[in-house]
Structures are given as structure tokens and as C-alpha cells.
Structure 1
Amino acid sequence: MLIAIPLAILLKDHHKIAEACLQVAGIIQTIPSLAILGLLIPIVGIGTVPAVIALVLYAIMPMFQNTYAGLTEIAPNLEEAATAFGLTKWKKLQRLELPLAMPMILSGIRISLVMIIGTATLAALIGGGGLGTFILTGIQSNNNTYVIIGAILSAILAFFFSWLLKFISTNTHRMRIGLVAILILICGFGGYKGYQAIRPAPTKVVIAGKMGSEPDILIHMYKDLIQQEDPRAEVTLKPNFGGTTFLFKALQSNQIDIYPEFTGTVNQQIIKTNQKTGSDPQKTYRLAKRELEQRYQMRYLKPMQYQNGYALVVSSQFAKEHHLTKMSQLASYNNEITAGFDPDFYQLHDGYPGLKGPYGYDFKNVKTMEPTIRYKAIANNRVNVVDGYTTDPQIPQYHLKMLKDDRHFFPPYQGAPLMKESFAKHNPKVVKALNKLSGKVTTEEMQQMNYDVTVKKESAAKVAHRYLVQHHLLHK
């Protein structure tokens, strides 16, 4: 409002400049919101700031257009009468133009308000939080309840603010009361922030996770262990935060403090050794730890026990028809295969590009899709091969067949907390707490926890807490 409405007032008598501004605002309006968020990340980072900038850009067009139209469509005879009575330009704006244009201005504000409340759900994709987190979590965990909660609450919020704006704009008295209420809220928020600034600063930790149930479980384990070690710690979780590259850049730019990363992913996607990772888990971890420390001044804590390695998965029917048990047998049916791969797997050296050499793959059709969607696709016979992980609960859920990696292509993938060396030095209690997970959690235990979240619809927080208590890592 502070940008669009004054700009429209300034340009109401400069039609060519106003039309140019309308064109620019219209072009911004047509750019997909995800593209704007992507363009803003390298400039201002991730989180709330790029989300707010994107929402401001989207809100300008309706308010500017309606304000400009309301001010320029006033009957000429009324303008002439105001001039004849000797009103100055400012008095004319105050007593004639703004009151007559007010219905159009308020209409523009309402349109912008409703539109950006819906668009704001996308902020969850870049760590901005909000109701979009429910929707994203529901999609990733195959839980429609979360999707419905996020969608309904967003709709209720939009309807409520639309009604509130209409209610307070019906007369001057209500508008004054509304403005006073807004000022009280602003002062209260400012006082709260001031109190936070002067009180003793607690340990603040921001933990993010990749898409899916498993990273969500891990970050909740991290949170419980850290708060047990340091009760004053304020831990903020950002689940379903994005892919490897996105999270690593967020860690580098101090947008987050910790995230769980896998040894094989570090070697192939972050430090990019450009050579096949060995099959020894300890050597793989040592290489990842050394390179992260030397190149990026990051500390990679000791990994957990379980292996969450890649695997190729086919439907039971496809496996039965072609007598498939090993990955090497797939190359014989390249012309029949439509594959659905996670975007990371489609690009990684340890993924599909690397498989082409030793296994001779050249599938007829390859589609990229998000992890949960690819399992639905193979269950509905939209694809017949997908990439998976050894701990994925969807494999038993959909009665799928995991093919044996008979040429030992896939490297070890063990998860461990990754953080900056400077953060680790300043927060020894956090490091001590997270080291309790070293060597813990078997592959079977992680698959069961994933099953509890994805299939049984239990919350990741509850599943993580239960495991820690049962294995005496956390007090009840």
C-alpha cells in the first residue's frame, strides 16, 4: 500500500508514465512466483525476506491499477467545480478525489490481500514457513489431512481478512477504530522484539531437513537431544526445506545451522570427486569429513549405523513378467522402460548418469518427479522403474520389488549432522547432544519409523521421541 497508492497519486496526471508502470507491474504479475523466489535467493538468501519481497511485487499491480483508475475516472465537471471553488491541488485530492476513489482503492487492497494469502503458501518451499508447511508436509508424507488443513486455513484466513477490510471500510468510525487496533498491534510487536533484544540471549539453533519423512524424523531427534542437553536452547525446525544444493547453500550463508546429510551425497554432489565412491562406509565418511573441513570449514559429525543407499525398484508384475531380480537384467528391456526418478538421482554421478556405463542403461523414457509422487506413479502403472532408498516404507506398502545391485555400483549412504566449524566451536553442547546418535539406528529401525510416519500417519515428532526414549537416549 505504501508503494502502490502514493505512486498512483503521483502519476495520476502523467498518463504515459503511469501506463508504463502498469505494464511493468503487469509483467511482474505474469512471472511464476516460484521463478521470482528462485531469482531472489542468490540476492537476499532464503526464508522470510525473499517471500515478503515476492508478495510485495505481486500485491502492487491490483492496488496501483485500482487507485489510478479511481483517481482518473472522476467526472470532469466535478474536477472543474473544485477548481472553480479555489481548491488547491492538495485540497482537491483530500476532499474530492480520494473520497470518490476510495471504493476502488479498497477493492484493489482486498484483491491483493486475498491473492497474496494464497501465494504466501509457497514460502514454505524456501524456508519461509507459514501454512504452506502443512501442505508441503502432507504431499511429502502422503498425508491428505495436512494438505486439507493447510488449504482450509489459508482459505479461512483470506475470507476473514477480506470480510474485516470490508467491515472497517463501511464508515469512518470503524476505519478509525481499525487503524488504532493496527497501531496497537504494531506497538505490541515492537515491544516484544525490544524485550527479546535486551533479555539474555539463549542458544538459537535452526535445523533444516530435506524432503520426506526420514529427514523430518532426524531433525526432530536432533531437536529433542539438543533441548535435553541445553534446556535454554531455542530450536527452530524447517522440515521439507529442499534438495541438497539448496540446503548446503543455506548452511553456507548462515540461513540454517545444521542439517542431516549423507556420506555418498557429500562425495558426489557437494565435494564432487568426479570419481566413483568406494564401497567402504568408513573410507567414504573419512573422505567426506576431510574435504568438507578443508574446502568449506564445516564439521561433519559421526554418522548413524543405517545405510540409506539408492536402489532401483520395479513393480511386482513387471519383475514377474521379465524374471527380474538383479539390476543388470534391466538393460535387456531398455526399450520397454519408462522410469520415474527423483531430480537428484537423475543428475548425480551415483545416480542414473553413472549407471549407464556399468549397467548399459538407455531407458526409452525418463521422467523426473518428487519422491512421494514417483511411488504413486509406479503403483498406478504410470512408470515401471523408479529409484528408491533401502529404508523407504513404500516398497513393502505397494508390494514393489527392489533389484539387487549385483555390480556394487551404489556407494554407502550414512546420515550425519553437518554444520559450520564456527558454529560447532561456539556450541559444544549441541555437538555433544548430536554425537549420541553416532552408530545408532539400524536400517530396519529407520524403515519402520518411516512406515509409521508415511503409512500409519503418525507425526515425525512423536516417532522420533518414541525411538529416543526406547533406546535410553532421552529422558521421558
Structure 2
Amino acid sequence: MNHLISTFQSQQSQFWQELLQHIQISLMALFIAILIAIPVALLIRRLPKAAEWVLQITGIFQTIPSLALLGLLIPIIGIGPLPAIVALVVYALFPIIQNTYTGLKQIDPSLTEAATAFGMNRRERLMKYELVLAMPFIMAGIRTSAVMIIGTATLAALIGAGGLGNFILLGINSNDVNLILIGAISSAILAIAFSYVLHLLEKAKIKTILISFFIGLLVLGGSYYQPQTNNHPQITIGGKLGSEPTILINMYKELIEKDSNIRVNLKSNFGDTTFCYNALKADKIDIYPEYTGTILTTFVKAPTTSTDANTVYENARDDIKKLDNLVYLEPMKFQDTYALAVKSNYAKANQLNNISDLSTLNNPIAGFDLEFANRSDGYKGLQSKYGLTFNVKTMQTSLIYNALNSGAVQIAQVYSTDSQIKQYDLKVLKDDKHLFPPYQAAPLLSEKLLKKYPELKTILNKLAGKITDQEMVEMNYEVNVEQKNAADVAHEFLVKNNLL
């Protein structure tokens, strides 16, 4: 519990930002769903055949897996809050339409006859008693949709829309249960709070309900207002999930704001590789740190045949320029590449220093993720280049370190700057036959941004050739294990190396 509280305290500033984004996305989706669903229910209540079709179709929408729906929407709408809101609206329609339709259909027909006899027209009947009688059903449908929206909105983090799901993804990525709990518990509490407020409105008068929803709309609109405090130009720097990108973008921010009048807005834990790249091309962000090997293998689709760091960087720089007219500045020294690691005491007992030394072991158990197990620069390369054969157990990346630490596996695929290397006292084996390609981090940005602010090149290139593998491991350890603020860790490094 103490660790959970300390993790929350270290993440407070980001927590309130993500909570606000989660509420914004959820409220926006709920209001849009209400504005669509209730009129549709009013329309189909006198059309039984149409009602059956509408309820069937909206019911089918709910069976579509959320990840699949987001994947379908991204090519059409792009990334960010919009596709997340659209997906949430699709899921929210069925409960509201069904409950509104049911509430209206259960009204005693004799009441309608009596109202007609008193000279009421259709609109008067609807406003004076039909909606009043159906309101408990309508509000129950809205409650169901609200709870579902808030829970599903955690997936918005997968497409760079922010929200409490960022903590869950970051926790999975860094194998930190406390971050997962912060995201999950906060989402559950938020859902309960929404449900309780809507429950109180179930028995309220229609006028009170309408006023409440109007106030909610005003609050939602006001939450997007950001007063301009100065006339400085602003840019947005994004970072992938994890401590390392967050540390790097904080370094970018400090250097830019020190040496120019540009103000920087950070979007840490913005998403995975694909989302950051698409966000850059769509001008959702202006800069983000990317790795040389990733550019070649993921975007350019070119094999990294060379293991020379400078050659790989130059190929990545030139190819990404041709592909999408993006500028790739000079890389830092460290390489966050694939590596093989063992426990230090295991390495000492078996005299392991290089990957080649693993040939002396008798069928050891290795923990790899599925991608590494099937890559030519992964296990297949270990077989062909090193002649190694292991008893391979494939598992999720976040579980590999636990498996190695517990002794369930003797060898693990890791990334060379992971904080767990220090945390679990691991020995990273030297890639003596140069199998793994270089993965150096460098700022990636558009050419038009650099033309607008040419000083960015000189400023950001101050980090070129800086930060060793060990320094990056230490900084990741400070953030992930010691729970230091990434901005503070970045600042300390810049001061220590006379860059500030």
C-alpha cells in the first residue's frame, strides 16, 4: 500500500491531466450518444419493424471487439480522441435506445386515449407524461452506457487519446503493478461516481434533468478552454510509452526553452511507435524521439544488414527523408537494442561474458517474446549466426524479467537500457558476432517545422553523442524503481553534463 501511495504521489501531475482527458472523452461520448439514441427511440416506437432492425444492429455493434473497432476507425479518422469518441458512441447507443424504447412502450395505452380525449397533441403528450413515465428506464440506460463508456475509454490510450488507460499501459510496459492499479482503480471509482449521480437523477423532474445535462455540457466545454498566457510560439513534443522516451522529451523541452523563446507542450506516454509516427505526420505532435533501427525496419521496411551505428543512422536519416519528408537529427550514444541477459550469479557460475559462451550450456531455458522468437535479428539469428539452440518459452515482454528473476528461465531477451538490468542484478552478454542492429534515439520532426524554427537543429543536436548505455539504465532505474520524476532526472543529467 505504501508503494502504491508513493507511486501515486510521484505521478500526481500526470494523473490529474489523464483524469481530465478521461472525463472529457467519456462525457463527450455520452452526450453524443444521448443526442442520437433518444430521438431514434422516439422515432421507432411507432414503427415495430424498424425498431427490431435498429435494436438488432446497435446490439451487433456491441459485439465488435473494441480493439478491432478502433483498428477499423484509425485509417478513416486517424488517431487521437476523435476515433475513441466515435467508438464509445457506437457502444453506448444500444442501452439508451433499448431502455428508452422499452420505457415508452410500457405506457398504458388508456393514458394515451385519455390524453387525446382532453385535446392533447402528440408533442404535449410526450412532454407532459410520456417522458415522465419513461424517465426511470431512460436514465437506467444512460447509467449503463456511462459505466461502459468509462471502462472502455481506458483503451483510448492505445491510439494516443490519453486518459487513465495510459497508466495501465505504462504499468504493463514497465511491469509496475502500482501503475496498473492507479489506472484501474481510478477508472472504477469514476464509473461508480458517474453511476451514482445519474441514479440520483432517475427520480428527478425532467426540468431538473435537462438543467443538469446543460450544466454538464457547459463544464465539458469549459474544460477545453486554455487561456493564452503569453505570445511565445509553442510546439508539442510526444513520447512513446515508458520512462526512457519520457526522460528524453523532458531533456528536449528544457534545452529548447533555455535556448529559444519557444514554449514546449509535452505529451508523455503518448502511444506506441505507429501512433507517434502517424501523429507526427498528421501534425498532432511536432517532434518525438525515434530509434534508428525502428525507422528502417518498421517504416522504411528495409533490412538492417549493417551493424555499424553510423551507417544505420545515415540510412535511416536518408530513407525517412525520401519516404515522408521528415528530418532525423543526430542520435545519442546509447543503443536501446536487443540483448541477451542472465542473472549475474548464473553468469559467474558458468563463465558467461559473450553470447558465444552460451554454447557451453546444456539446453538452457530461454524467455523470449513472440516477435523476437521469429525475427531474423532475434532467435533465428542466434541459431544461424551463433549456432545456438534453446528451450524457448514465449511470453509477454513484461513477464520475461519476472521469469528470469524467479529462475523459470535462465536466459532472457531484454533491451539494453532497461531499468530491470540494474534492478534484478543482470549480466548483459556481449554481442560478439554483431547480430543485433543498432537502435540509437534521435529527434524526428517535419522539414516544415525545422524551416519555421531552424534553431531547433542546433539546440537538439547538443544531445548528439551524449548518454551512454549505463547512464540510460541508471536514469530509467531512477524513474521506474526509485519513483523519481522523469523531469527531475532529465534536469539532473543536463546540469551534470553542463548542457544547462
Code of the residue aligned with 2:482 in structure 1: it is K
* 1:242 match: 272
Provide the aligned length of Structure 1 versus Structure 2. 466
Question: Cα 1:242–1:29, aligned 2, differ >3 Å: closer, same or farther?
Answer: same
Q: TM-score, normalised by structure 1?
A: 0.88
Question: Cα 1:183–1:21, aligned 2, differ >3 Å: closer, same or farther?
Answer: closer
Question: Cα 1:432–1:260, aligned 2, differ >3 Å: closer, same or farther?
Answer: same
* 1:352 match: 379
Question: Cα 1:324–1:183, aligned 2, differ >3 Å: closer, same or farther?
Answer: closer
Code of the residue aligned with 1:357 in structure 2: it is S
Q: Take 1:72 and 1:391, find their aligned partners in 2: how far apart are those partners?
A: 63
* 1:300 match: 328
Q: State the 1:395 CA deviation.
A: 2.0
Instruction: Indicate yes or no: 2:241 matched with 1:208.
Output: no
* 1:21 match: 54
Q: Take 1:299 and 1:412, find their aligned partners in 2: how far apart are those partners?
A: 19
Decide whether the 8 Å contact of 1:205 with 1:233 is kept in 2. yes
* 2:196 match: 163
Question: Cα 1:83–1:413, aligned 2, differ >3 Å: closer, same or farther?
Answer: same
Instruction: Indicate yes or no: 2:425 matched with 1:399.
Output: yes
* 1:175 match: 209
Q: Take 2:499 and 2:42, find their aligned partners in 1: how far apart are those partners?
A: 63
What's the CA shift string for 1:171-222, capped at 9, x where partnerless? 33643542453364367568x47x76xx986433232223322112111211
Q: Take 1:3 and 1:334, find their aligned partners in 2: how far apart are those partners?
A: 65
Identical positions, percent: 47
Q: State the 1:383 CA deviation.
A: 4.1
> Which of 463, 466, 472 is the aligned partner of 1:437?
463
Report 1:289-438 matches (<5 A): 289-315=317-343, 324-328=352-356, 330=358, 337-341=365-369, 343=371, 345-346=372-373, 348-360=375-387, 363-370=390-397, 372-438=398-464
Instruction: Indicate yes or no: 2:140 matched with 1:107.
Output: yes
> Which of 281, 290, 303 is the aligned partner of 1:261?
290
Q: State the 1:439 CA deviation.
A: 1.6
Decide whether the 8 Å contact of 2:135 with 2:202 is kept in 1. no
Q: CA RMSD in A?
A: 2.9
Code of the residue aligned with 2:432 in structure 1: it is D
Q: Take 1:18 and 1:117, find their aligned partners in 2: how far apart are those partners?
A: 27
Q: TM-score, normalised by structure 2?
A: 0.84
Question: Cα 1:425–1:135, aligned 2, differ >3 Å: closer, same or farther?
Answer: same
Q: State the 1:37 CA deviation.
A: 1.6
> Which of 447, 452, 457 is the aligned partner of 2:473?
447
What's the CA shift string for 1:61-117, capped at 9, x where partnerless? 111111111111222332333344443333322223211101100111111112211
Structure 1 range deviating more: 5-14 or 392-401: 392-401
Q: Take 1:41 and 1:334, find their aligned partners in 2: how far apart are those partners?
A: 48
Q: Take 1:317 and 1:323, find their aligned partners in 2: how far apart are those partners?
A: 10
Question: Cα 1:458–1:43, aligned 2, differ >3 Å: closer, same or farther?
Answer: same
Code of the residue aligned with 2:282 in structure 1: it is S
Question: Cα 1:184–1:299, aligned 2, differ >3 Å: closer, same or farther?
Answer: closer
Code of the residue aligned with 2:212 in structure 1: it is G
What's the CA shift string for 1:145-169, capped at 9, x where partnerless? 4333333332332233223333345
Q: Take 1:268 and 1:324, find their aligned partners in 2: how far apart are those partners?
A: 30
SS of corresponding position for 1:120: helix
Question: Cα 1:412–1:179, aligned 2, differ >3 Å: closer, same or farther?
Answer: closer
Instruction: Indicate yes or no: 2:93 matched with 1:67.
Output: no
Code of the residue aligned with 2:399 in structure 1: it is I
What's the CA shift string for 1:252-311, capped at 9, x where partnerless? 23332222122222233332333512x322222222212222232111111112233321
Report 1:24-103 matches (<5 A): 24-103=57-136
Q: State the 1:472 CA deviation.
A: 2.2
